[in-house]
Amino acid sequence: TRKRKHYLGDFDADDMNSPKKARKLLSIAQSQQKKLKIKNAERKTKRLEEKLFTLTAMISDLKKKRLATEPAADVLKV
């Protein structure tokens, strides 16, 4: 069985002999890079959303315990 080539490291010089095959492999590599970039952006977004949720929860907790006044909480939010 032949291994499917999905990543840049899977290609070698013999794969680039014909222009048609080279274009196909380039397209595969570009789409793989695009997917990776999107996945990393989604991960980053998720981490930032979790961080925002945590900070919001901390501020509301400080308000409940009366450790932070309303103006102080507003400063923390900004």
Instruction: Say what the pLDDT of residue 13 is.
Output: 78
Q: How far apart are CA 43 and CA 48, in angstroms?
A: 9
The reported pTM is: 0.66
Tell me the pLDDT tens digit for each residue of 18-76.
Answer: 888 888 888 888 898 999 999 999 999 999 999 999 999 999 999 889 888 888 888 88
Instruction: Say what the pLDDT of residue 1 is.
Output: 59
